[in-house]
Structure 1
Amino acid sequence: MLRRQRRIPTAGISLLNRPFSHRKGRLKNMNDSMNDYTSDDYPEYEESSPAANLPLPPHSVEAEQSVLGGLLLENSAWDRIADVVVGEDFYRHEHRIIFRTITALINENRPADVITVQEFLERSDETEAAGGFNYLISLAQNTPSAANIRRYAEIVRERAIMRRLAEVGTEIARNAYNPEGRDAAQLLDEAENKVFQIAESTAKSKQGFLQLPDLLQEVVERIDMLYARDNPDEVTGIATGFVDLDKKTSGLQPGDLIIVAGRPSMGKTAFSLNIAEHVAVEGKLPVAIFSMEMGGAQLVMRMLGSVGRLDQHVLKTGKLQDEHWGRLNEAVIKLSDAPMFIDETAGLTALELRARARRLARQFNGRLGLIVIDYLQLMESSGRTDNRAAALGEISRSLKSLAKELQVPIIALSQLSRSVEQRTDKRPMMSDLRESGAIEQDADLIMFMYRDEYYNPESQMKGLAECIIGKHRNGPVGKIHLTWMGQFTKFDNAAYVPDMAMVEE
């Protein structure tokens, strides 16, 4: 008995030479006609075969043809779709080839019409792969105009995103059935990262120009609010707890990428933790700390010493005296109530860090007070580049993008090159930032930590540290003095003189 048969798309050129899915005449109202191929377009195969039950990936051949036809008719339409669609977004292989060819010609300021595209394809021996000369003619002839080309490009892009989501969904399901030793938490992280990669790839096409009147209104309202403050010295961002620093910066501003740099033992981690403690303990704002160098328990030990003014050696050896227990208990209570979260995963990529920060932000309705990353050079690149400077550039750009997205200040610690040690004056400079090009460019605020007593034991600056502002995109640069209490791993305002009875030997 004969079985009922259906049709799937042919692989040959014959179908391509039938203009626009065998429609007669020019397309009418393509916004209403973006459906996929029907079963009539498919070659015969038996319904009992496994392929009969497989749905086609999301795509719109008509939209792809209209984008290509519009560009062939009107090269100036390129400016309307360049930020929307790329060659890989096209479902049909021949469409990808044609789009890449048109793109290459336009980028060289050469005309891209049926003749020039055909000539280009012949030189690269891709004419047949692109469907042939007749198919190029049909693309141009069956497209009325390029008037709606941006909408067609958006449809192509949307279908490409749907295909990628389907691929990722299949991969997630496959990993769930065959985890290969990974636990559920790891699989969730991987799944979220894959989905975020798709979301990141769509972000650029959603951005556009902002109108000046709207921006003016926003800025004037902010100026008016600042003018009406009772205290003109009040910080407008996130207070650090360091008075002189807050005066220069008006606090850490949401959306800013802040680099804290220094040679080893200068107090980079202690300084950043002190700020994090102030934001979480005093400001009660959520703080995320990504510690790729020290473990979580080690960080908490430092915090207990800093908040409770307890000697680190006493804490590490457990040699507490009676007077220590009260301060330890008080520090534990303060830190227990602080919304502070530590991730001690080593070698995070910018994408992984971004996913975890977003997840934490969602727990607090999108509002984080501060993100601290210790430190930049220990992060891994999401790409495949072997160039460390390029990898760090990718990381710093991603962190700046995350700061803007979540509207949170991000403090990223950075190492300095050994060239500092070669100079007589070992105060750091901008050129000392290791692989500094992209970091220097992306950062809104760069602060260098320096303790003279580390290099000069007889220094008159004993017990003092310098916070050198090397770059401040929206304010003054300069130097701030801080008190350094090494036994507590704590910085304090330079004007503050601690009670000597509280200072252990």
Structure 2
Amino acid sequence: MADSYESLKIPPHSIEAEQSVLGGLLLSGLANDSTAWDTIADKITEGDFYRQDHRLIFRAIADLVEDNKPLDLVTVSEWLKQRNELENAGGFAYLATMAKDTPSAANIRAYAEIVREKSVLRQLISVGTGIADSAFTAQGRPSKELLDEAEQKVFKIAEQGTKQGQVFKPLKGLLKVTLAHIEELSKLDSNITGVSTGYTQLDEMTSGLQKGDLIIVAGRPSMGKCIVTGSRVLDPITGRLEMIDDLVAQQQGSLATLNTQLRLQVAQPSQYVDDGVKPVFRVRTALGREITTTLTHPFLTIEGWKPLAEINVGKRIAVPRILPFFGKGSLSEQRTKLIAYFLTDGGLTQSCPQFTNINPRIRQDFITALDDFPGVQWRLEDSKGQRTPSIRVATDTAFQHTARQDFAARFKQRLQELSLSLNALARQLGVAVATVHYWSVGKAVPAGEMFGVLCRELQVEPSVLMPHGSTATTRSAPNPMTEWLQTLGLMGKNAHEKRIPAPVYELPRALMAVFLNRAFACDGSVYVQNGIQAGISYSTVSYALARDMQHLLVRFGILAKLRHRQVRYQGEYRAAYELRITHQQHVRQFLEEIGVYGKEEAVQKALTVSQEKTPKVILDTLPNETWAMVADCKGELTWAELAQRMGRKPGHNFHVGKRGIGRELLAEMAAALSSKTLATLAHSDLYWDEIQSIDYLGKQQVYDLSVPDTHNFVADDVLVHNTTFSMNIAEYAAAHKKLPTAVFSMEMPAEQLTLRLLSSMGRVDQHRIRTGKLTDEDWPRIATAVKIFADVPMFIDDSPALSPTEVRARARRLMREHGQLGLIVLDYLQLMQTGTSSDNRTAEISEISRGLKSLAKELAVPVIALSQLNRSLEQRPNKRPVMSDLRESGAIEQDADLIIFIYRDEVYNPESPDKGTAEIIIAKQRNGPIGTARLTFLGKYTRFENFTPDIYTPGFE
């Protein structure tokens, strides 16, 4: 019964009110009076009417008024008749009845309000039903997403009300309000009439941030934290090594990043930045790894991320100990072996590729691998024992003849199937009949584009006509082996130019092990030193190849040290490069999982020594500073008590502070102390490598990638790192002025933003906060900052990719909950979305900026939106930004009331006399002067302060 009752419910509406509105408009038109329309035009729309016939009539009236045409029964009925809608609207009689039954248009506004009220109720019912349906049919959609969607729908109804009913405000009334405001300002002791920024010089120029203003704060992304062109970034999904130039050009890609647990994971950049030409420095480590960056680019030390400018030779930085990412490449095992053989003992500079090796087992393995290439033949050349045997790979002419005959047979069969003569085909192809005849008897075959044209004419796949491929069939083509090596970029390369081709990086783990096995079989060695130390080495004259091999070993978690050597060759010394694996655990892993083909006896001997002997030197250690962290964790426990707890003998000496802590020892200590911090370090994916040299290389093209959450990525097998001014303003407004402040952080997670706030307020090095390695002086400062922020009305939303509608809805809700809002900060504008798909990003940004300006005006709150600048300014001698540098500027310049640029000269000129300072450039101010204010920048606190000339603290953004 209840269900039957529910089904009979009728949506709220008032037929009488709708008829009275329409009748009043018709009466007003008959009297040639437009006041009735002007009264209700901003109150209701066509969609507010419940009945369809009433919607049609209202549409007719609105169209007539818009075209300045007479409005009466005749004109309305004629409008409807022309569109075949008169009968649907009730006919002329119904129009006349409404006009007759409405006494006057005097109360038309009240009727319109009734119509609008009923419309809102119906919309709420519709939205409520839709929300219920979404909940019933969620099918795995998260409840948070459903709630956001429901909220948007409800706020959309509310927004209609805010846009309707707005009327002009008489100047007389506005004058009274304005005079009262001026009187209040005259009583103030300062010139600050808006929200103070905390920066004296800036406040003097702006009088504070005004209610309803949209403030754009812009600066170049990364501000100099970049890596040089040509740097290679690992794609952990495919295994490829991508040039950072290509990632920036394509604006997409994946990379490996270090998370808070110090483990590597997959991430996607949020921004791809071309940062122009800047001074760069090459950093080389003890392992032989290299990366070239700007001086301000941070590296991870045991104390936290530090810019290169603060790091000296001898400092240990974190590099990946393992990159456990492999691909799913389809390269066969035979071809994998051949690449390894040609890279090591291959001769690729002559017309035919050659392979030279003294080991007969390896030569036979190479010959067997050639089976993957039909159409080639090999010949052994050893000059009758006068030189090392060499295998020359050339075209198999007998096979080529057979392949041509096979093509001829298939070609003729297809012609018969199509009932096509040689003459007819020749005409279609535009070639001589003799040419087609030669094809049919196997004297020749089509090549290049002609073969593709032939396949299309015969409606057949190329592999059907020529199953062995064109290189194995065509006389003039290079042999299949040569062509393949050309596609890999190996053919023609001498020993110094060789490097691993791209498909190898995409191999699965097992095939990558095969590749390394065969490469070390030729250019590697396995040895036992002094009967107690096993080791593995690999030598080459190609520096690039040595680094490539070193990278592949890291995929397995095997660390190899790259050494530069001078070797004697034909009476002179030449540069050579050697990889050495000496860490016994890594030696065992290499010998057990990878091995060395043809050197099994040496492998077994080294493996036995490695398994039986305890290494005297521990290579995988953490920096000496780690001892201080252990001391903090053990507290009052003595070192002897710690040793006892770890099961060590009495009197055990840890050699505290005298040598680095081995990873295994630190893991034991972490377990004994139940320390998550020490355990995280012990089981991390990091190796602490020592910087051996930092060399200036001049100015080069640089790029950067922004990584959400973690803000770091792996490039050239080194970890590199990638909102300060606006957050300092927000901090001042909330903490000092007690103004409720909303922060929308779309790039940085709330927890990380909180760390920055604690660093800034407490004046504690942010890197010590990140690592938890705080000094005795730091703890009271942190405690004070926490106490201050405990009662601060600041609210952080770290949801990604918000739209202006979502920001407005959340800001409104916050304002209702707290009665007011003093400031809104958005980081940053280019990360916002419109909620609708569009190919024109500039138009989207324009829509976003208009939405933010509307938000500022509606809530009477200053809105600060961070924005990025485009890279055009990098090409100018003067790098100070101007308004045209705003990225996707569009309507940003027009909508903004205040545009502020941040410029730090030391980013572009490392030896700048203005180090430690920043220029705050006011490029636009709707109601005030433009100009420049100078602030002090305290990098390690991520803090801007009022300018004091004697302070300089090198730091980071």
Give the TM interval when normalised to the shorter protein. Answer: 0.7 to 0.9
- 1:386-401 matched pairs, under 5 angstroms: 387-401=840-854
Are residues 1:251 and 2:208 paired? yes
Contact 1:105 1:111 in 2 (8 A): yes
Are residues 1:281 and 2:735 paired? yes
Letter in 2 for 1:249: T
In the superposition, relative to structure 1, how do residues 363 and 78 fare at CA in structure 2: closer, same or farther (>3 Å)? closer
| Map of 2:920 onto structure 1 | 467
| Map of 2:127 onto structure 1 | 168
The one-character-per-residue Cα deviations of 1:186-209 (angstroms, maximum 9, x if unpaired) are 544433332211111111223222
Further displaced range: 55-64 or 377-386 = 377-386
Aligned with residue 225 of structure 1, among 168, 171, 184: 184
More helix by share: 1
Are residues 1:444 and 2:897 paired? yes
Are residues 1:69 and 2:522 paired? no
What's the offset of the Cα at 1:293?
A: 0.7
Aligned with residue 217 of structure 2, among 256, 260, 265: 260
Q: State the alpha-carbon separation in 2 of the partners of residues 451 and 325 from structure 1.
A: 31
The one-character-per-residue Cα deviations of 1:423-462 (angstroms, maximum 9, x if unpaired) are 3323222222233343333322221112222223333332
In the superposition, relative to structure 1, how do residues 389 and 70 fare at CA in structure 2: closer, same or farther (>3 Å)? farther
Letter in 2 for 1:354: R
Contact 2:868 2:887 in 1 (8 A): yes
Contact 2:42 2:166 in 1 (8 A): no
Aligned with residue 825 of structure 2, among 372, 379, 383: 372
| Map of 1:203 onto structure 2 | 162
- 1:100-249 matched pairs, under 5 angstroms: 100-182=59-141, 185-229=144-188, 231-233=189-191, 235-249=192-206
- 1:334-483 matched pairs, under 5 angstroms: 334-364=788-818, 366-383=819-836, 387-483=840-936
The one-character-per-residue Cα deviations of 1:57-107 (angstroms, maximum 9, x if unpaired) are 111222222222333333413222211111111111122122222222221
User: What residue ranges of structure 2 are gaps of 5+ in the alignment?
Assistant: 225-722
Aligned with residue 58 of structure 1, among 12, 15, 18: 12
Contact 2:750 2:797 in 1 (8 A): yes
Are residues 1:486 and 2:946 paired? no
Aligned with residue 307 of structure 1, among 761, 770, 783: 761
SS in 1 for 2:933: strand
Letter in 2 for 1:79: D
SS in 2 for 1:265: helix
| Map of 2:548 onto structure 1 | none
Q: How many residues align?
A: 453
In the superposition, relative to structure 1, how do residues 461 and 204 fare at CA in structure 2: closer, same or farther (>3 Å)? same
SS in 1 for 2:162: helix
Q: State the alpha-carbon separation in 2 of the partners of residues 474 and 243 from structure 1.
A: 18
Contact 1:266 1:449 in 2 (8 A): no
What's the offset of the Cα at 1:346?
A: 0.6
Q: State the alpha-carbon separation in 1 of the partners of residues 223 and 216 from structure 2.
A: 14
Q: State the alpha-carbon separation in 2 of the partners of residues 382 and 136 from structure 1.
A: 42
What's the offset of the Cα at 1:266?
A: 4.7
User: What residue ranges of structure 1 are gaps of 5+ in the alignment?
Assistant: 1-46
More strand by share: 2
Contact 2:768 2:774 in 1 (8 A): yes
The one-character-per-residue Cα deviations of 1:142-200 (angstroms, maximum 9, x if unpaired) are 33333322222222211111110111222233344554445555544433332211111
Contact 2:916 2:952 in 1 (8 A): no
Are residues 1:80 and 2:39 paired? yes
Contact 2:936 2:951 in 1 (8 A): no
SS in 2 for 1:206: coil
Contact 2:763 2:781 in 1 (8 A): yes
Letter in 2 for 1:89: D
What's the offset of the Cα at 1:385?
A: 5.4
In the superposition, relative to structure 1, how do residues 94 and 297 fare at CA in structure 2: closer, same or farther (>3 Å)? same
Letter in 1 for 2:65: I
Contact 1:274 1:491 in 2 (8 A): yes
| Map of 2:456 onto structure 1 | none
Are residues 1:332 and 2:786 paired? yes
What's the offset of the Cα at 1:377?
A: 1.9
Further displaced range: 400-409 or 314-323 = 314-323
What's the offset of the Cα at 1:275?
A: 0.8
What's the offset of the Cα at 1:48?
A: 11
Contact 2:938 2:952 in 1 (8 A): no
In the superposition, relative to structure 1, how do residues 247 and 214 fare at CA in structure 2: closer, same or farther (>3 Å)? same
What's the offset of the Cα at 1:265?
A: 3.0
Contact 2:919 2:932 in 1 (8 A): yes
Structure number with greater CO (CA < 8 Å, separation at least 6) is: 2
Q: State the alpha-carbon separation in 1 of the partners of residues 905 and 26 from structure 2.
A: 67
Q: State the alpha-carbon separation in 1 of the partners of residues 955 and 138 from structure 2.
A: 53
TM-score w.r.t. structure 1 length? 0.81
What's the offset of the Cα at 1:503?
A: 9.0
Contact 1:483 1:491 in 2 (8 A): yes
Q: State the alpha-carbon separation in 1 of the partners of residues 5 and 83 from structure 2.
A: 34
Q: State the alpha-carbon separation in 1 of the partners of residues 841 and 92 from structure 2.
A: 46
What's the offset of the Cα at 1:292?
A: 0.4
In the superposition, relative to structure 1, how do residues 498 and 457 fare at CA in structure 2: closer, same or farther (>3 Å)? closer
